[in-house]
Amino acid sequence: MKGYIHSFESLAALDGEGVRYGVFMQGCPLRCVYCHNPDTWCSGGNSFSSEELVKKVSRYKSYFGKNGGVTFSGGEPLVQAAFIKDTVQHLKVAGINYAIDTSGAAGLSEDAKCVLRDAQLVILDLKFWDDESYKKYTGGSMLAVLNTLDFLESIKKRVWVRTVVVPGINDSEECLEKYLELLKGKKCVEKYELLGFHTMGFFKYENLGIKNPLKDIKPLPAEALTRLQKFVDKRFKRSLG
């Protein structure tokens, strides 16, 4: 089976536990205003078979140790859930773990459920706090994301939730309270991590000739991110109760 892959990142320490091999899938149904990978939006591009991908990844197996492995990211990996499902069968045979980094916006096809069920970890982006804000800043519907979170809770999957904090949009404690409300009672969520908005992908908008809706917004200062993460950490522990 063939899948479309934007790029790879070998031996990354982000996006999951241990040493990771990042596979950035091509295609995304959302158009987040803060996206730093607009070059992943369209479908198509470089194609790989499941066997080719697993062969490529297997070269790094000795670095993965007990907790490391592959992280499928994007774009939105679950747009190509059938390909990932096929690939992870081969990864299993090779003894390699995988994590999924998803927006949860692609919907829960049977293939997507299968891929999520077998993942060692799911990283779920909780992008905005209600349907109105979600629609406004991503173009998508929040319902699919909440359904994905409910599904992950129902199968007791280990989940890390992430939110990108953008100055002037969601960089207040009041706003983050609304996100925390959505996570209340979700025992599957092990941690809630904030990421600061940055401008490193701005050049891609220029190269692609796409309008950048946040071109005048400055990166979130590191001290603001630290302060808000502390706030969230405190509340998050309580919200799980």
User: Of 30, 54, 144, 145, which one interacts with ligand SF4 (CB under 6 A)?
Assistant: 30
Chosen residue from 75, 77, 104, 196 binding ligand SF4 by CB under 6 A: 75
Q: With CB under 6 A as the contact rule, which of the stretches 25-33, 82-90, 169-177, 205-213 interacts with ligand SF4?
A: 25-33
Helix (H, G, I), strand (E, B) or coil at 11: strand
Instruction: Mark out the alpha helices in the chain (DSSP H runs).
Output: 50-58, 61-64, 81-94, 110-118, 131-138, 142-154, 173-183, 202-208, 222-239
Q: How far is the CB of 72 from ligand SF4 (least distance, A)?
A: 13
Planar angle of CA 118, 124, 127, nearest 5 degrees:
160
Q: Helix (H, G, I), strand (E, B), or coil: what is residue 212?
A: coil
Q: Do residues 180 and 241 touch, judged by C-beta distance below 8 A? A: no
Between the alpha carbon of residue 160 and those of residues 26, 89, 131, 186, the distances in Å are: 22, 23, 21, 11
Burial of 44 (0-12, 13-18, 19+ CB in 10 A): exposed
Q: Does the protein bind ligand SF4 through residue 32 (CB under 6 A)?
A: yes
Q: Which is nearer to ligand SF4, 20 or 127 (CB)?
A: 127
Which of 26, 50, 80, 103 contacts ligand SF4 by CB under 6 A?
Answer: 103
74 touching ligand SF4, by CB under 6 A: yes
**Site membership for ligand SF4, residue 28 (CB under 6 A):** yes
Q: Which two tokens stand for residue 10?
A: 């070998």
Distance in Å, CB of 37 to ligand SF4, minimum: 5
| 3-class secondary structure, 48 | strand
Least separation in angstroms between residue 178's CB and ligand SF4 is 19
In the complex, minimum distance from the CB of residue 201 to ligand SF4, in angstroms, rounded to a whole number? 9
Q: Which stretch binds ligand SF4 (CB under 6 A): 72-80, 168-176, 221-229, 232-240?
A: 72-80
Contact at 8 Å (CB) between 96 and 69? yes
Interaction between residue 76 and ligand SF4 (CB under 6 A): yes
Min CB(48)–ligand SF4 separation in Å: 19
In eight-state DSSP terms, residue 219 is P
Regarding 212 and contact with ligand SF4 (CB under 6 A), the answer is no
Pick between residue 124 and residue 232 the one whose CB is nearest to ligand SF4.
124
Residues touching ligand SF4, count (CB under 6 A)? 11
Considering only residues 105 through 144, tell me which ones interact with ligand SF4, judged by CB under 6 A.
none
- Four-residue CA torsion sign, 90, 95, 101, 107: positive
| Site residues, ligand SF4 (CB under 6 A) | 28, 30-32, 35, 37, 40, 74-76, 103
